[in-house]
Structures are given as C-alpha cells and as structure tokens.
C-alpha cells in the first residue's frame, strides 16, 4: 500500500510540525484565499460557521493545483463570551487579550475540511475548553515577552510556554495546537 499523500493548505508552523510527525507524504502550500476579505464578506455568520467556511475555502483554493491529493484546510478561532478573539498582532493587544482571559474559560474551535478532486470529502470540527489561571499583570507581560504570541488566536502559544497559563484544558494537544491529525488521518483512511 502506498503512503498517504496530503497537501496541508496552511502557513502555520505548528500545524506543519504536527503533520511532520506522521508517516505521510506531505506538501505544505499556503492557501490561495484572501482570508480578511472572506471574513468581511461573511459578517452575518456565527463564529463556528465562519471557521468552517474558511477551512473549506482554504482546501478548495488548492483543488485545481493538487487534484489527485487529499488537501486539508484548517481554521481555528478563540471564542470568549460568544465572540471571536482575534489574533492580537501587537504586544499591547496580546496583553489586553490575556487580561480578559485570565481566570476565565474560553473555547478553541477548530474547523477542518478535506478535499480531493475538487470535492469536499470530510468536514470535521473539534472544540476544546480552556480554563486559564488567574494571572497577575506581571505574569502576563513576562509571558508575552517570552513567547511573542502575536499571531496566535487567544494570544498564547500552548505548544511553547502557553500551557503554563492554564488551570485545566479539555481537548487533545493536537486539537489545541490547531491540527488534530490523528483524528483526520483516521477519517481519511476510512475514505480510501
């Protein structure tokens, strides 16, 4: 039996690291969508539906280039008090986001879409529950300086030092980090 051939439609380093731990042939390729425009065009969607649309759009954006391979599109959002907490992009916003999350529970929602031959064959969602410890302002500032989580939804890098910020988590490490590939591989294997 030949090895599974996957295209990961993502620029995320942690997602690339996760899938590299598996015995699959993988091509890393940035999705060819304007994510910000898609978000603006779909303001009417609830956060979970928007994440699912983005995952689908990312996978389908590469369907013509890689029509014979399984393409995985992903999107993960941080939901706090029913709203999406966007990537902070700067240190002040990261500190502000972490102050809001401190002592509270939020959810990481991951949407995953697998296509082959321009056809959607799998749509999968996983939600993780994350309870953050009560953090002091200095703990937050030191953490942001250490991990620089400016491109991370929730303003933390769980895979680096972010895990130390939490009191409890419900969800697999892969799902928290944005690519539950063990689950997806099982679903793909069932389609072969």
- Cβ–Cβ under 8 Å, residues 63 and 71: yes
pLDDT of residue 191: 85
* Cβ within 8 Å of residue 162, ≥6 positions away: 143, 147, 149, 152, 156
User: Cα–chain-centroid distance for residue 53?
Assistant: 13
- Cβ–Cβ under 8 Å, residues 59 and 75: no
3-state secondary structure 112-181: EEEEECCEEEEEEEEEEEEEECCCCHHHHHHHHHHHCCCCCHHHCCCCCCHHHHEEEEECCHHHHCCCCH
CA-CA-CA-CA torsion sign (187, 27, 86, 45): negative
pLDDT digits (tens, 9 = 90+) for 172-186: 999 999 999 999 999
DSSP reduced 3-state for 57: helix
Name all domains of the chain by residue range, CATH numbers in brackets.
5-191 (3.90.950.10)
Which residue stretches of the chain have pLDDT < 50?
1
pLDDT of residue 2: 62
pTM > 0.85: yes
| Catalytically annotated residues | 75
pLDDT digits (tens, 9 = 90+) for 144-166: 999 999 999 889 999 999 999 99
- Cβ–Cβ under 8 Å, residues 38 and 54: yes
């Amino acid at each position: 039996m030949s090895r599974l051939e996957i295209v990961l439609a993502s620029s995320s380093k942690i997602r690339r690291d996760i899938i590299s731990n598996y015995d699959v042939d993988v091509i890393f390729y940035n999705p060819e969508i304007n994510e910000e425009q898609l978000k603006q065009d779909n303001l009417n969607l609830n956060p979970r539906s928007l994440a699912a649309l983005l995952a689908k759009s990312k996978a389908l954006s590469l369907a013509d280039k890689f029509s014979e391979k399984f393409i995985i599109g992903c999107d993960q959002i941080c939901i706090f008090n029913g709203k999406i907490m966007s990537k902070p992009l700067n240190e002040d916003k990261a500190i502000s986001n972490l102050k809001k999350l401190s002592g509270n529970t939020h959810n990481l929602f991951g949407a995953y879409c697998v296509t082959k031959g321009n056809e959607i064959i799998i749509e999968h969602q996983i939600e993780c529950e994350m309870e953050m410890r009560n953090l002091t302002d200095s703990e937050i500032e030191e953490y942001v300086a250490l991990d620089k989580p400016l491109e991370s939804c929730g303003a933390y890098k769980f895979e680096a030092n972010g895990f130390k910020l939490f009191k409890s988590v419900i969800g697999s490490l892969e799902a928290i980090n944005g690519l539950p590939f063990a689950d997806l591989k099982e679903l793909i294997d069932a389609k072969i």
